[in-house]
Structure 1
Amino acid sequence: MSINFIDLKAQYRHLKADIDARIQGVLDHGQYIMGPEVAELEGELARLVGVKHAIGVSDGTTALQIAMMALGIGPGDEVITTPFTFIATGEMIALLGATPVFVDIDPVSWNMDPALIEAAITPRTRAIVPVSLYGQCADFDAINAVAAKHGLPVIEDAAQSFGATYRGRHSCGVSTIATTSFFPSKPLGCYGDGGACFTDDDELARKMRQIRLHGQDRRYHHPVIGLNGRIDTLQAAILLAKLPTFGDEVAARARIGARYIELLKDVARVPVIAEGNTSVFAQFTIEVDNREAVQAALKEAGVPTAVHYPVPLNLQPAFAHLNQPEGSFPLAEAASRRVMSLPMHPFLDEATQDAIVAAVKRALG
């Protein structure tokens, strides 16, 4: 049995004519940097999410950097976030000279626990950055309430949740700023790096557009220090070709995720989707005992797995100076030892899914 963890080839076969036509359009007009497809994509993304502004950028990590730069975050500042995430979330805080302040997770959703945020706020706190992990939004009503009480902006790290909804609102439309990634394996992915920032705030949008173009407001005039953070026209074109069927893919992910949950709920800790939420299942993640042995058994059976994420940020060598050793965030640390992601993509058929489930049950037996 040979199973793909993510099947980008199947998606390309399904959309080949549209993707090829969009790429050819860019090759024909030759505007590879900030071509017309970039503005077209931004308009489509803003409409889909339901916000005033979408700003296409080079990748999801740079999107976080641009968002924080627009808020003026820098040396001496603190930014509250979760330790159970990809390095980029904490990395961009540190890169700007600020200090990441971690709070533990809610073990049910694996997202930041809103009840722990207020105790972490100090006079140096400048923002809160929740991560919408594995495709489900964090609890933004609770997070935004704490933020509003203290006058703090909220940046949703929606690198894994684009297309999900939170109580009727779209991920990327529930906070001061949101950022997402269009890395190829994401629910909406391009064929290289890509990302976007979202906001309803006109002034923040203006700043973010400036920052992504070396801080310029017009050609060769730079009021602020920025960076080279543009999305390539070719990547924007590929995303435009994928957008018309994105809703169908989101629905397929929800169906496949719900079926996984039903089939595995008696043998493993499966995702819990909060009432009023939908998930895009950027990963389908379960918790198991003896993870290494389970992964080895699944590999032997031809079922690929992955771990998102095996080391929480407080235990990464790059953050050793924060002096938050093992035991500092027990719930995130426990999850990091137990989580395991199974094959997940919108073209996963029931027969293959049944084979994966059967292999998981044997491995856990």
Structure 2
Amino acid sequence: MTHPTIPFIDLKSQFSALEPQIRERMDRVLAHGQYILGPEVTELEEQLADFVGVTHCYGVASGTDALQIALMALGVGPGDEVITVPYTWISSAETIALVGARPVFVDIQPDTWNMDPTQLEAAITERTRAIMPVGIYGQPADMAAVNAIADRHGLLVVEDAAQSLGSTHHGKRAGGLGTIGCTSFFPSKPLGCYGDGGALFTDNPDLAQRMKQIRNHGQAKKHHHPILGINARLDTLQAAVLLAKLEVFDQEIDQRQTVASHYARALSGSSIKAPQVANSNTSVWAQYTVLSDDREALKERLKAEGIPSVNYYAVPMHRQPVFADLGYQAGDFPVSEHVADHCLSLPMSPALTASQIDHITSTLVARAD
């Protein structure tokens, strides 16, 4: 029996379910014509601040812009060091370098694949200014441990919640777990728009004001630019899409967790390693990523059954040519390298049907041992 190809991330089904709400929201923008910083942007910021549980939220043009603006608002620059992980998308390290600071890497935990707090203090120097933990694949890092270390050393914490918005750590939402939280609305994210987009979160009013100015050329009021900024405003049309999607986001998170539970049950006892969620966390399952000792063969066999898969972050940051001058070598971060060499992300979407899940899991188990 030939199975139809399963979407890796099913945005078409999501749009079909939400089309009336999305079109209504977008039509309002087309009618009023305020395409830059229109009323939908402010409405979205207010709803997201309430959702995350912080006092300030500002929409920006991308998750990468959010990270860069956060570092700029904190005054991170040349001569500073910022600690992050090598197993992540390049934006985490890229933005540190773009503001003139030096990325410093620490390895990840072997179970959650997030920053290992036990390695943090050894990486702190007199030049360390901030720590940037990443919530990989949908769950936060051990932010309680990271914040405690940061507090002891007088450091700032930029939470990269590009994949973890909607998850929790000790009951508190991702995005609100550091000095500044950053997220992305790239279309494939659990809460995604139809282009690039992102947001910043904080409880600090001074940082909030700086971030608001930086995203709009450093402008405090018309024709008055007291600080340097960039052009990083969230488009009003993207805000309209996000407002429609935010209405069902909690429901979609529940559906993602149901899909993840099916995967976990199917992989129990298999040689394929399923992802682990820390006891203090919930996950929004931005990706469902497994480890396999025979990844390439498994990937090809899944493909033959119409099941797409992706090996994300196959080359960790410390092995990227752009960061060669940092002086890291292969073997410096063994957990990151092991995960990079063995990881495979499976289809994950709230719209996955029971039959699709059964087909994926039966293929996985059949090929696993």
The interval holding the TM-score normalised by the smaller chain is over 0.9
Q: Which residue number in structure 2 is paired with residue 359 of structure 1?
A: 363
What pairs up with 1:30-179 in 2 under 5 angstroms?
A: 30-179=33-182
**Aligned to 2:82, what secondary structure does the other structure show?**
strand
Structure 2, unaligned runs of 5 or more:
none
Of the candidates 177, 188, 202, which is equivalent to residue 185 of structure 1? 188
User: How much has 1:160 moved relative to structure 2?
Assistant: 0.2
Distance (whole Å) between structure 1 residues aligned to residue 326 and residue 294 of structure 2: 30
Distance (whole Å) between structure 2 residues aligned to residue 258 and residue 125 of structure 1: 40
Distance (whole Å) between structure 2 residues aligned to residue 265 and residue 164 of structure 1: 23
How does the TM-score come out when normalised to structure 2?
0.98
Of the candidates 261, 265, 268, which is equivalent to residue 268 of structure 2? 265
Q: Which residue number in structure 2 is paired with residue 274 of structure 1?
A: 278
Structure 1, unaligned runs of 5 or more:
none
User: How much has 1:362 moved relative to structure 2?
Assistant: 2.7
Distance (whole Å) between structure 1 residues aligned to residue 60 and residue 345 of structure 2: 28
Distance (whole Å) between structure 2 residues aligned to residue 98 and residue 24 of structure 1: 43
Distance (whole Å) between structure 2 residues aligned to residue 326 and residue 298 of structure 1: 30
User: How much has 1:276 moved relative to structure 2?
Assistant: 3.0
How does the TM-score come out when normalised to structure 1?
0.99
Of the candidates 304, 311, 316, which is equivalent to residue 315 of structure 2? 311
- Give CA-to-partner distance per residue, 1:254-279, whole Å, 9 cap, x none: 11112211111222111111113110
Distance (whole Å) between structure 2 residues aligned to residue 181 and residue 144 of structure 1: 22
Distance (whole Å) between structure 2 residues aligned to residue 311 and residue 58 of structure 1: 26
Is 1:218 the counterpart of 2:221 in the alignment?
yes
Which residue type is aligned with residue 7 of structure 2? N
Which residue type is aligned with residue 162 of structure 1? L
**Aligned to 2:129, what secondary structure does the other structure show?**
strand
Bigger shift: 180-189 or 270-279? 270-279
Q: Which residue number in structure 2 is paired with residue 20 of structure 1?
A: 23
Distance (whole Å) between structure 2 residues aligned to residue 168 and residue 255 of structure 1: 19
Q: Which residue number in structure 1 is paired with residue 204 of structure 2?
A: 201
Distance (whole Å) between structure 1 residues aligned to residue 185 and residue 124 of structure 2: 31
User: How much has 1:300 moved relative to structure 2?
Assistant: 1.2
Q: Which residue number in structure 2 is paired with residue 293 of structure 1?
A: 297
**Aligned to 1:270, what secondary structure does the other structure show?**
coil
Distance (whole Å) between structure 1 residues aligned to residue 43 and residue 298 of structure 2: 46
Is 1:302 the counterpart of 2:306 in the alignment?
yes
Distance (whole Å) between structure 1 residues aligned to residue 55 and residue 349 of structure 2: 30
- Give CA-to-partner distance per residue, 1:215-253, whole Å, 9 cap, x none: 010011111110001000000010001111111001111
User: How much has 1:308 moved relative to structure 2?
Assistant: 1.7
**Aligned to 1:154, what secondary structure does the other structure show?**
strand
Distance (whole Å) between structure 1 residues aligned to residue 163 and residue 69 of structure 2: 18
- Give CA-to-partner distance per residue, 1:298-351, whole Å, 9 cap, x none: 111111000121011000011111111110101101110001000000011111
Q: Which residue number in structure 2 is paired with residue 335 of structure 1?
A: 339
User: How much has 1:363 moved relative to structure 2?
Assistant: 2.7
Distance (whole Å) between structure 2 residues aligned to residue 141 and residue 270 of structure 1: 24
Is 1:346 the counterpart of 2:339 in the alignment?
no
| CA contact 2:88–2:316 (8 Å) conserved in 1 | yes
- Give CA-to-partner distance per residue, 1:27-86, whole Å, 9 cap, x none: 000000010000000000000000000110000000000000000111111000000000
Which residue type is aligned with residue 98 of structure 1? A
| CA contact 2:132–2:158 (8 Å) conserved in 1 | yes
What's the C-alpha RMSD, in Å, of the aligned pairs? 0.7
Distance (whole Å) between structure 2 residues aligned to residue 95 and residue 363 of structure 1: 44
